[in-house]
Amino acid sequence: MLDFKRQLSTHGVPTPVADIDMDLVRDCIHCGLCLPKCPTFRALHHEGDSPRGRMWQIKEASLGLVSFDDPRFQTHIYQCFNCRACETACPSGVQFGPVMEMARAKTPPQNRRDRLVRAVLLNGLLPHPRRLRIAGRLYRTARAIRLPELLRRSGAWKVMPLGKFAAFPPVGDTSPRQTPLAAVTPAAGERRGRVGLLTGCIQDEMFHGSNRRTVLALAKNGYDVVVPEERVCCGALASHAGEAKTAERLAAGTLDAFTRLNLDAVIVNAAGCGSNMKEYELQLRHDNQRREAGGAFAGRVKDASEFLVDRGLRPPTGHIRARVAYQDPCHLVHGQKIHQQPRQALKMIPGLELVEIVESDWCCGSAGVYNLTHPEIAEEALSWKVKHIIDSGAEIIASANPGCILQIGMGLQRAGKDIPVVHVMDLLGWAYGDETQRPPVVRRAMA
Amino acid sequence: MGQGRLGTAMETGARDGLLRRLREVVGEQYAFADPYEIRLYQYDASPETALPDIVVIPGSAPEVADVVRLCAQAGAPITARSGASSLAGGTVPVHGGVVITFPRMDRILEIDVDNLRAVVEPGVVNLALSHALKPYGYYYVPDPSSQGACTIGGNVATNAGGPHTLIYGVTVNHVTGLEVALPSGDLVQVGSQKAAETTGYDLTGLLVGSEGTMAIVTKIWVRIQPLPPVQKTLMAVYPDVESASNAVSAIVRTGILPAAIEMMDKLSIQAIEAASHAGYPLDAGAVLLLEVDAIPELAEELGQRMAQVCRENGATEVRIAKNDAERQALWKGRKGAFSAMGRLSPDFYVMDGVVPRTKLPETLAKIDAISVRTGYKICNVFHAGDGNLHPLVLFDAFKAGQYEAVLTIGDEILKLCADAGGSVTGEHGIGLEKRENIRYIFSDDDLEVMQRVRQVFDPHGLMNPGKLFPTDGLEPSPSVSAPSPARRQPMPAGQGEDLWV
């Protein structure tokens, strides 16, 4: 067995495999600056589970020195949160996320749990609006009949699949029936433009209220808000997990649905979705009809906080007198480089005191479907997060992605802490006058 | 064995036996020889690679001592690897054997503000230490550009520097004592813990910068110091490196010694701007970054004086950072400079030459001539205040012959640094990369003395073999017999056929 350099000098440089952009891979100069920012390196201590190590493995696999299907390659590649903290740390500009997605697409995972999650969730449920609606109604019915309390009291959650998520659900909808969002919500006050809202898949079934408050915030800021008639899923979870075909199909559908509507901007309130949609040019690189449109479309995609703050947020008048900490979703801070706008939006709420959490830009372990496929490592990352939140003294946590809100909310409840985890748009919406679903802490802070 | 297993040096039977014993010490999951997994320990931040036989991830100093003893008994070479951000191949296991790595030993054991000390394990990241000290109003001074990833253990090994070592000194000036594991398996303490002075031989001074060729560091006592009350940071823009170099000399003549004087040339500025938008002007021929540490009453005046001297010496623009965010932006650009080269070229080769400050313009002109002659782009980013150059030669390792050509260029540059009265390394260490270049500074007799000192600690030449010393005739003397002949392997082609451990 030869080392890398000697292999190349002895046998020449092999032709890289197809479907991997070797220029992107070689952007990594293995300087190692990413290692201390990587949650899986911190948890597992192995170079193979560091960003540099993963780039190295992808490089060797692309050159045929190791196999993409090697179980050890799969282990390290799928053990990655894909939180992209390494991208923020990288001075060479390595696009780790896209490279990781290309590598995952080369080698579907072989272990049972991973395959199950993919079959059921990524391919079986999320892309299908009808099935998703049924699942959503079941979920909300379970909450309406107080199943979570039953699970908690009986301890059944500990042995049930997904039990911890069922027993410690987030602030969200509890009525089985939902009132759909209006196709067009007219702007309030002076009209500033016309925007679309991606309601999302999980977001709309579990956090319909957050969507409603996002619409409210946009309308209060002078925007007509359009919601596409047919529910669209942007394909983020599939893409981040390396389900390239599903991801590409969903990206095409999303692009078409919004393009028809003639909008100034497409607003997204789920960080993972926004990050994915801003990379549609890459997602649709094999789609000759849509590749260019993908680039133009990506330019119009905006995170809700990013859009509102950059355009000048109209100050809300409702007071929320509480210490609030903002938890950066990875796909917002690292994936979209949005750090300040959500904080600025929160600071404009009268009475709100913004505090910082140590390592607020570290992944909570949710990481798309990661907490389902790799629960042990996800739990470790969550334990760091819960500790830092408790130490911060925050009474409310604001974030901007359904996965993080679910995961951290579950972690805090399990730790016995009554610290609600909500969306930035929830707080903004409440401050703009929405009175629904306010958790007790918020009600008290607004009294 | 033999030519079939280049890079790794141990026989399978010996390796498996050692692996079994190592696992008893550190636990099953923290010692491995899997042919796939060891490929992840063949590299560092240099272009060099070589495969280890075994990787060990110990969790404590006693474990390290046991690991080192077992390796020594088995006659296996030992290479310490921490952040593996070495630019000189210092952590690449050229003779195979065992790589010991320290991500589990990343604890700050004590912070003693009153005695100006902190005690750390080798795997503590340089910047993490300063972050931990910040709430107390203190910091750890040496700040290599890789400080976000490099570790104190690695800093000790290479006697690392950084921009702010101009007035405060390099790692050796900030380490007061060490606990080290010797090949005998003993854990030994050298230097002083918290007292100001040490007596007898300055073994701490000897071990700092020894690049893992004598012992493995397991605990470090470092000096900490209060954060400067005010830091004034200036950026001065020059039409070319010569005028910038002259300005540096003029600044030093004023008698005000800044905490840092950094220079970047045109090509570097372009790469840095692409990477971090530090605010360096893209059309500048050279940029100087200056910083003075002072009490508030003085800072403004010193800043203005620096600015004035810069202008008098040809600066077309001088910008003083107005707040901490602007200061951070200026530094972020400089500190990310090497990695930013990834934006210009798939690979680069960085050197670490030192010249007397007065020779800067002349040396830079010669480097430029080499670039023109060979056709390889060379960027210059360096600590101008102490004449520590970091020429970066850009190349593509996938193109046949380029790496060899670049090595020749590097050799030529280091030779001209040495000829100018300088040195072949300022802070990165000799490592693998410059082991032949060390001859430009030291004679055979000099090197012989160094080698004998090394043998006191490492009689069998097992500690990071193949580093620091030239390959011919200066490795451990023949009178010393290594315990096991099995690991004596000829080096692979291209590494020098006559290299023996």
Compute the residue count for chain B.
Answer: 501
d(CA A94, CA A107): 21
Contact call for residues B354 and B417 (beta carbons, < 8 A): yes
**Residues 168-227 (B) with a CB less than 8 A from some CB of A:** none
Judge whether residue A358 has pLDDT over 80: yes
Judge whether residue B473 has pLDDT over 60: no
High-pLDDT (> 90) share of chain B, %: 68
**pLDDT, average across residues A408-421:** 96
Contacting B with CB below 8 Å, chain A residues are: 1-6, 8-10, 12-13, 23, 26-37, 41, 45-48, 53, 56-57, 60, 65-66, 70, 72-73, 89-94
**Residues 95-114 (B) with a CB less than 8 A from some CB of A:** 101, 103-104
Q: A220 by DSSP, 3-state: which? A: helix
**CA-based radius of gyration for chain A:** 22
Best of A23, A29, A62, A65 to mutate (most B CBs within 10 Å, chain B): A29
CA distance B51 to chain A (A): 6
**pLDDT, average across residues A44-67:** 97
Q: Identify all chain B residues contacting A48, using CB atoms and an 8 Å cutoff.
A: 37, 40
So what's the pLDDT on residue B413?
Answer: 95
d(CA A188, CA A202): 28
Q: What is the CATH class of A184-309?
A: alpha beta
d(CA A214, CA A31): 42
Using the Cα atoms of residue B460, residue B465, residue B468 and residue B472 in order, give the sign of their dihedral. positive
Best of A13, A33, A95, A99 to mutate (most B CBs within 10 Å, chain B): A33
Q: Kindly report the CATH number that applies to the domain delimited by B108-226.
A: 3.30.465.10
Q: Identify all chain A residues contacting B275, using CB atoms and an 8 Å cutoff.
A: 91-93
Band of pLDDT at residue B481, cut at 50, 70 and 90: very low
- B5 vs A93: CB contact, 8 Å cut-off? no
Strands B138-139 and A184-185: unpaired
Count CA atoms closer than 13 A to A189's CA, side-chain side.
10
Count CA atoms closer than 13 A to A295's CA, side-chain side.
5
**What is the pLDDT of chain A when averaged over all its residues?**
93
- Helix (DSSP H) and strand (DSSP E) numbers for chain A: 26, 9
Judge whether residue A187 has pLDDT over 80: yes
The DSSP H or E segment spanning B125 is none
- A93 vs B6: CB contact, 8 Å cut-off? no
Does B143 touch chain A if contact means CB atoms closer than 8 Å?
no
Judge whether residue B450 has pLDDT over 90: yes
Comparing C-alpha atoms, which of B438, B482, B440, B445 is closest to residue B463?
B482
Q: Which of A172-186, A380-394, B164-178, B282-296 has the highest mean predicted lDDT (pLDDT)?
A: A380-394
Contact call for residues B25 and B70 (beta carbons, < 8 A): yes
Task: Tell which phi-psi region holds residue B319, choosing left (phi > 0), alpha (psi between -120 and 50) or beta.
Answer: beta
**pLDDT, average across residues A385-413:** 96
Per-domain boundaries in chain A: 4-107, 113-167, 184-309, 316-446
Q: Identify all chain A residues contacting B8, using CB atoms and an 8 Å cutoff.
A: 1
Higher pLDDT, A368 or B70: B70
CA distance A39 to chain B (A): 13
d(CA A131, CA A114): 21
Which neighbouring-strand residues pair with B101?
Answer: B81
- B348 vs A29: CB contact, 8 Å cut-off? yes
Compute the residue count for chain A.
Answer: 447
Report CA-CA distances (Å) from B322 to A320, B300, B325, B329. 34, 11, 8, 11
CB atoms within 10 A of CB A260: 11
Strands B54-56 and B98-101: parallel
Band of pLDDT at residue A302, cut at 50, 70 and 90: very high
Least confident of B28-32, B223-227, B280-284, B476-480: B476-480
Does B347 touch chain A if contact means CB atoms closer than 8 Å?
yes
Which neighbouring-strand residues pair with B79?
Answer: B99
Instruction: Copy the structure tokens of residue B492.
Output: 């692979």
User: Interior CA angle at B304 toward B301 and B305, to 5°?
Assistant: 85
Per-domain boundaries in chain B: 2-103+444-487, 108-226, 230-336, 345-432
So what's the pLDDT on residue B8?
Answer: 53
Tell the CATH topology of B345-432.
Alpha-Beta Plaits (3.30.70)
**What is the pLDDT of chain B when averaged over all its residues?**
88
Best of B15, B40, B94 to mutate (most A CBs within 10 Å, chain A): B40
Fold: same for A184-309 and A316-446? yes
**pLDDT, average across residues B244-266:** 90
CA distance A170 to chain B (A): 34
pLDDT tens, position by position, A213-246: 999 999 999 999 999 988 788 999 888 878 888 8
- A45 vs B346: CB contact, 8 Å cut-off? no
Render A140-194 in DSSP notation, one character per residue: HHHHHTTHHHHHHHHTGGGTSTTHHHHHSPPS----SS-PPPPSEEPPPSS--EE
d(CA B165, CA B142): 6
Least confident of A210-224, B27-41, B51-65, B163-177: B163-177
**CA-based radius of gyration for chain B:** 23
So what's the pLDDT on residue B480?
Answer: 33
- Residue type for B325, please? A
CA B236 to chain centre: 27
Contact call for residues B245 and B360 (beta carbons, < 8 A): yes
Band of pLDDT at residue B188, cut at 50, 70 and 90: very high
Judge whether residue B500 has pLDDT over 80: no
CA distance A235 to chain B (A): 30
So what's the pLDDT on residue B397?
Answer: 86
Band of pLDDT at residue B490, cut at 50, 70 and 90: very low
**pLDDT, average across residues B429-443:** 91
Q: Identify all chain A residues contacting B341, using CB atoms and an 8 Å cutoff.
A: 29, 92
Q: In what order do the strands lie in the sheet with A396-399?
A: A353-355, A323-326, A396-399, A421-423
CA distance B300 to chain A (A): 30
The DSSP H or E segment spanning A60 is helix A51-62
**pLDDT, average across residues B419-436:** 91
CA A160 to chain centre: 25
CA A381 to chain centre: 16
CB atoms within 10 A of CB B181: 28
Comparing C-alpha atoms, which of A231, A225, A352, A329 is closest to residue A271?
A329
- B40 vs A47: CB contact, 8 Å cut-off? yes
d(CA A115, CA A104): 13
* Residue of chain B nearest A40, judged by CA positions: B103
So what's the pLDDT on residue A158?
Answer: 87
Q: What is the CATH class of A4-107?
A: mainly alpha
d(CA A46, CA A240): 22
So what's the pLDDT on residue B4?
Answer: 33
CA distance B19 to chain A (A): 17
So what's the pLDDT on residue B471?
Answer: 82
So what's the pLDDT on residue B494?
Answer: 38
- B6 vs A48: CB contact, 8 Å cut-off? no
- B42 vs A93: CB contact, 8 Å cut-off? no
What is the interface size between A and B, counted as CB pairs within 8 Å? 132
Tell the CATH topology of A316-446.
Rossmann fold (3.40.50)
So what's the pLDDT on residue B277?
Answer: 81
Judge whether residue B486 has pLDDT over 50: no
Comparing C-alpha atoms, which of A331, A118, A396, A377 is closest to residue A242?
A118
CB atoms within 10 A of CB B116: 15
Judge whether residue B482 has pLDDT over 50: no
Judge whether residue A380 has pLDDT over 70: yes
Does B8 touch chain A if contact means CB atoms closer than 8 Å?
yes
CA distance A4 to chain B (A): 6
- A73 vs B36: CB contact, 8 Å cut-off? yes
Judge whether residue A399 has pLDDT over 50: yes
Q: What is the CATH class of B230-336?
A: alpha beta
- A73 vs B6: CB contact, 8 Å cut-off? no
Partner-chain residue, chosen from B57, B276, B493, that has the shortest CB–CB distance to A45: B57
Which neighbouring-strand residues pair with A151?
Answer: none
H helices within B323-443, ranges in order? 324-335, 337-340, 360-374, 402-419
Q: B53 by DSSP, 3-state: which? A: coil
Instruction: Copy the structure tokens of residue A179.
Output: 């009132």
d(CA A258, CA A299): 13
So what's the pLDDT on residue B199?
Answer: 79
Strands B286-294 and B378-383: unpaired
- B6 vs A6: CB contact, 8 Å cut-off? yes
Partner-chain residue, chosen from B30, B48, B85, that has the shortest CB–CB distance to A31: B85
d(CA A347, CA A353): 7
**pLDDT, average across residues A84-112:** 91
Judge whether residue B7 has pLDDT over 70: no
pLDDT tens, position by position, B47-66: 899 999 999 999 999 999 99
So what's the pLDDT on residue A376?
Answer: 94
Instruction: Copy the structure tokens of residue B414.
Output: 């280091």
> Rounded to a whole number, what is the largest CA-CA distance in chain B?
70
Q: Identify all chain B residues contacting A60, using CB atoms and an 8 Å cutoff.
A: 39
- B85 vs A36: CB contact, 8 Å cut-off? no
Judge whether residue A335 has pLDDT over 60: yes
d(CA B206, CA B214): 10
Fold: same for B230-336 and B345-432? yes
Q: Kindly report the CATH number that applies to the domain delimited by B2-103+444-487.
A: 3.30.43.10
Render B54-111 in DSSP notation, one character per residue: EEE---SHHHHHHHHHHHHHHT--EEEESS---SS-TT--TT-SEEEE-TT---EEEE
d(CA B341, CA B319): 25
pLDDT tens, position by position, B337-366: 887 887 888 888 888 999 998 898 899 999
Instruction: Copy the structure tokens of residue B253.
Output: 């003549």
Please state the φ and ψ torsions of residue A19, each to the nearest 5 degrees: 70, 5
Residue found by looking up tokens 């220079």 in the block = B263
d(CA A196, CA B108): 51
Render A294-334 in DSSP notation, one character per residue: HHHHHHHEEEHHHHHHHT-PPPP-----SEEEEPPPHHHHT
Instruction: Copy the structure tokens of residue A43.
Output: 């948890």
So what's the pLDDT on residue B472?
Answer: 66
Report CA-CA distances (Å) from A155 to A378, A379, A386, B455. 21, 18, 21, 64
The residues, any chain, with a CB within 8 Å of residue A109's CB and separated by 6 or more, are A74, A78, A115, A118, A373
Does B497 touch chain A if contact means CB atoms closer than 8 Å?
no
